[in-house]
Structure 1
Amino acid sequence: MTWFRTLLGLLACGTIASAGDWPQWRGPNRDGHSADTALLGAWPADGPKLLWSLTDADKVGTGYGSPAVVGNRMYIIGADGAKQTAAEFVTCLDLKDGNRVWRQNLETTPGKFSDGWGGGPRSTPTVDGDALYVLGVTGDLVCLGAEKGDIRWSKNLVKDYGGGIPIWGYSESPLVDGDKLLVTPGNKGGMIALDKRTGKTVWQCKELTDGAAYSSILVTEVGGVRQYVQQTMASGVGVRASDGKLLWKVGGIGRRTAVIPTPVLHDNYVFFTAGYGAGCECFKLEKDGDGTKATEVYTKNKVVANHHGGVVRVGDYIYGHSDSSGWVCFDMKKGGDEAVWQNKGVGKGSVSFADGFLYCYSENDGTLARVKAAETGYVESGKFAIPQKSKLRPKQGKVWAHPVIAGGRLILRDYELLFVYDVRKPKA
């Protein structure tokens, strides 16, 4: 009976992930794919219907992270201003109308990072059952109750694990895998696995001493070996899930300055890309005794050089923005010296995928284009711009939060602004 009452409580507060949810960074599977189907086939000329928006800074807070959505609730992390010293907080909103369900202030640890792009957190919350996990810009890792926002435990990646704040602040979004919570403190902190319920350290991969980048961890299994794949400031790496052993490490593309995109995994292949001239590389992961080896498929390829905004895989193809070519379609496994297609499109930006379409969100002016995910070419089937731009975001900053498609809603953020659109197909 106790278990049954708990289940009913979780259902009531909407914290059990279902098919239409976006419970963490880049969606249900961390691949930029929404599980939503039956979305609008055609958009009006001025875009889908705007259901509601929040434009007061104290409602959402400043920051570049995307929201997480589970059931009828949205979770987002922000700060109370654009300065480096801004205090962080987590907000839970009703997805239907934007009304606040709860707000929890966080004890933000002082720390130095370059805030020319503006203060505020950069990460997406992770929802797991009745718990919510967030990572602040100076390394505060906090577990909260999803129903009321009560703080259950907190750690700091620098003070507690010897990590180092990246130049522009921690931007990683925590990963939950079974009973473990995974993050990358970087430097002497390596990668850590914590007990998600208590925050107690399960293991710490101290073999990994690269600086933390701005990417987030993925989980995969190769030949029965479960492992965590991450991109650091210097390398692509795989860490064994059972004990934190560093299994493999690659680094042919000359990562530098800021390494941001989350890797892509498919059929035991892993694809990495980064900007500042780095380009992309692909490796085949294969069983090697009780570990894994990473065999180069190609490296130092310049066709896809994604600064930030990420890329998505649909079928055998990678789609996203490349610094050298604009929006591109690229064969992930074959590589090659040319894109399948390229197009300037809406300009540099982030991308998500839903129901056969790419949602390409321009960092410069907040224009979103819906583009058919096909190797035949870049074809827009709808485009509009958010109705206003941030007044708090410093000029160096851009529209950097990724699009979220969940529960038939398209959710777009620009620093302290939040816009929620209805993209559901009308009922017959």
Structure 2
Amino acid sequence: METKRIVATVVMLLVAAFVRAPLSGAAHTGGTADWPEHHGHGRTNISPDKGLLKEWPLSGPRKIWTYSQCGRGYSGVTIADGMIFTAGDFERQERVIALDMDGKLLWKQPNGDSWRRSSPGSRATPTYSDGAVYHMNPTGRLAAYEAKSGRPLWVVDLKAKFDAKYGIWALAENVIVDGDKILCMPGGPRGRVVALDKRTGKTLWVNTEIEHSAAYCSGLVVNHGGARQLITLTQRSVVGVDVETGKLLWSAPFVPRSPQNSLTPVFKDGYVFIACGHSSGGRLIKPDLSARSAKTVWHREDLDDCHSGALLVDGRLYGTACRQGGKQFYCVDFLTGRTIKLDKTFGKVGITFADGMIYALNYQGTMYLLAITPEGFDVISRFELKRKPVNSYLAHPVVCGGRMYIRCGNDLHAYDIQAD
């Protein structure tokens, strides 16, 4: 049972979206050296960085600095406007943290009580947009802060306002900023999905049509079928919601054998990939707005992705399966599900992509650099990080501005990966 809880923690914390071309998320901050929300612009998990190292020394790339007061948790990092943001638990209080690019603390602000029950620690990664930072704690306290100073701007208690419902591992959503709206899923009977004004926290619309409560998923926004829609997972379905009105556009059952619907859906040209760790495998669906439903294109039990998400590059899906797939790192064709390559040597990994390479960090603290090849992928380099307790290496690596950032528990490391 403990093993199941550990794995599920990974899922809900790293709910990730790996998409090639959706339009979503935080506003761009200008230039390429920013990563303003979990998994970057549009939640593609694809960095625009170029000119990066194609192999590393045996000891790994040069470490620039380490910040060792992140607190307990699994939050990743966002980078914008010359600052780095993350979150962590400090005794009984959750806090949002801002650093400068030299790893020096700028500010640290509370965001409610920390999560003390199953798999304690922070979950969500802060989202940046237009000079503000937004963060939701595990019990649904959604707060906005001025990015430069940390000054609190507003707070909405989603549990009190919408009767937010969450599972044994709490809420783990990385909220989306789309234009002037914040989109999130309290999952309660008074608000399954809601849109708030990002400047004030005022409610713009509420969806109560959806039947099921929140899972551990962070959705994505796409333009498809003449509508701008939020695609996300509930505990028992996948849904598309009109971003402008909150109307439910379509839904399809996705009932896991264990409550771990957490993978951010992957969208490409009208097709959506969804998966659930440990139980329901992975499947490609095609939503039909006229029928308000979706048709299954293919389904594979062994693609039960729960930790790495699914990274889409040039028509191929990359990620890590869980129990059904034997913790295999996979490369499959997006439209057909055809196997290109499977590898069980890594264990479960969190991934990101930059300059033709996949960066993969496994549970044990081994960092891999993989080259994409016609046959799938090849391991080019690897190095070992300092051994940490179980669950320390759950946050996905981030590549931004010629650096690689790795969060492991209380520590955040920055490495120089820019080629000379």
Task: Report the TM-score when normalising by structure 1.
Answer: 0.87
Partner of residue 185, structure 2: 184
CA contact (8 A) 2:235 2:255 kept: no
Partner of residue 10, structure 1: none
**Residues 254 and 60 of structure 1: CA distance in aligned 2, closer, same or farther (over 3 Å):** closer
CA contact (8 A) 1:279 1:305 kept: yes
* Residue of 187, 196, 199 corresponding to 2:198: 196
Partner of residue 302, structure 2: 303
Q: Percent identity?
A: 33
Amino acid at match of 2:166: I
Q: Name the SS of the counterpart of 2:306 in structure 1.
A: coil
Partner of residue 349, structure 2: 349
**Residues 374 and 157 of structure 1: CA distance in aligned 2, closer, same or farther (over 3 Å):** farther
Residue 34 of structure 2 is aligned to residue 21 of structure 1: yes
Partner of residue 316, structure 2: 317
Cα deviation, 1:53-85, whole Å, max 9, x if unaligned, reads 123xxx21111010101142101111103xxxx
* Residue of 79, 93, 99 corresponding to 1:87: 93
> Following TM superposition, by how much is the alpha carbon of 1:36 offset from its aligned partner in structure 2, in angstroms?
1.2
* Residue of 398, 409, 419 corresponding to 2:413: 419
Cα deviation, 1:184-211, whole Å, max 9, x if unaligned, reads 1113130110111111111111111322
* Residue of 322, 331, 334 corresponding to 1:332: 334
Residue 280 of structure 2 is aligned to residue 275 of structure 1: no
Rg: which structure is higher? 1
> Following TM superposition, by how much is the alpha carbon of 1:178 offset from its aligned partner in structure 2, in angstroms?
0.7
Q: Report 1 or 2 for greater relative contact order, CA contacts < 8 Å, sequence distance ≥ 6.
A: 2
Residue 45 of structure 2 is aligned to residue 40 of structure 1: no
CA contact (8 A) 2:310 2:317 kept: yes
* Residue of 38, 41, 44 corresponding to 1:31: 44
Partner of residue 84, structure 2: 74
Partner of residue 102, structure 1: 107
Whole-Å separation in 2 of the counterparts to 1:226 and 1:296: 22
Matches for 1:25-424 after TM superposition, within 5 Å: 25-55=38-68, 59-81=69-91, 86-95=92-101, 97-108=102-113, 114-115=117-118, 117=119, 119-188=120-189, 189-252=191-254, 254=256, 256-288=258-290, 293-299=293-299, 301-323=300-322, 324-325=325-326, 326-336=328-338, 339-363=339-363, 365-390=364-389, 395=390, 397-424=391-418
CA contact (8 A) 1:341 1:376 kept: yes
Whole-Å separation in 2 of the counterparts to 1:224 and 1:316: 23
> Following TM superposition, by how much is the alpha carbon of 1:388 offset from its aligned partner in structure 2, in angstroms?
4.3
CA contact (8 A) 1:273 1:305 kept: yes
> Following TM superposition, by how much is the alpha carbon of 1:41 offset from its aligned partner in structure 2, in angstroms?
2.0
Whole-Å separation in 1 of the counterparts to 2:415 and 2:204: 41
Whole-Å separation in 2 of the counterparts to 1:385 and 1:344: 18
Q: Name the SS of the counterpart of 1:69 in structure 2.
A: strand
Greater CA drift, 249-258 or 39-48? 249-258
**Residues 226 and 146 of structure 1: CA distance in aligned 2, closer, same or farther (over 3 Å):** same
Task: Report the TM-score when normalising by structure 2.
Answer: 0.88
Whole-Å separation in 1 of the counterparts to 2:294 and 2:223: 13
Q: Name the SS of the counterpart of 1:378 in structure 2.
A: strand
Whole-Å separation in 2 of the counterparts to 1:88 and 1:34: 29
Whole-Å separation in 2 of the counterparts to 1:181 and 1:295: 29
Greater CA drift, 217-226 or 249-258? 249-258
Higher strand share: 2
Whole-Å separation in 2 of the counterparts to 1:222 and 1:359: 30
> Following TM superposition, by how much is the alpha carbon of 1:42 offset from its aligned partner in structure 2, in angstroms?
2.1
Q: Name the SS of the counterpart of 2:352 in structure 1.
A: strand
Whole-Å separation in 2 of the counterparts to 1:99 and 1:298: 48
> Following TM superposition, by how much is the alpha carbon of 1:408 offset from its aligned partner in structure 2, in angstroms?
1.0
Task: Tell me the number of residue pairs that the alignment of Structure 1 and Structure 2 aligns.
Answer: 389
Q: Name the SS of the counterpart of 1:29 in structure 2.
A: helix
> Following TM superposition, by how much is the alpha carbon of 1:224 offset from its aligned partner in structure 2, in angstroms?
1.9
Consecutive unaligned residues in structure 2, runs of 5 or more: 1-27
> Following TM superposition, by how much is the alpha carbon of 1:293 offset from its aligned partner in structure 2, in angstroms?
4.8
> Following TM superposition, by how much is the alpha carbon of 1:375 offset from its aligned partner in structure 2, in angstroms?
4.4
Amino acid at match of 2:147: A
CA contact (8 A) 2:112 2:137 kept: no
Cα deviation, 1:99-148, whole Å, max 9, x if unaligned, reads 1111212333x87x733x2x221111100011110011111100111110
Whole-Å separation in 2 of the counterparts to 1:21 and 1:312: 19
Whole-Å separation in 2 of the counterparts to 1:165 and 1:252: 17
> Following TM superposition, by how much is the alpha carbon of 1:17 offset from its aligned partner in structure 2, in angstroms?
4.4
Whole-Å separation in 1 of the counterparts to 2:204 and 2:384: 45
Amino acid at match of 2:283: E
CA contact (8 A) 1:60 1:418 kept: yes
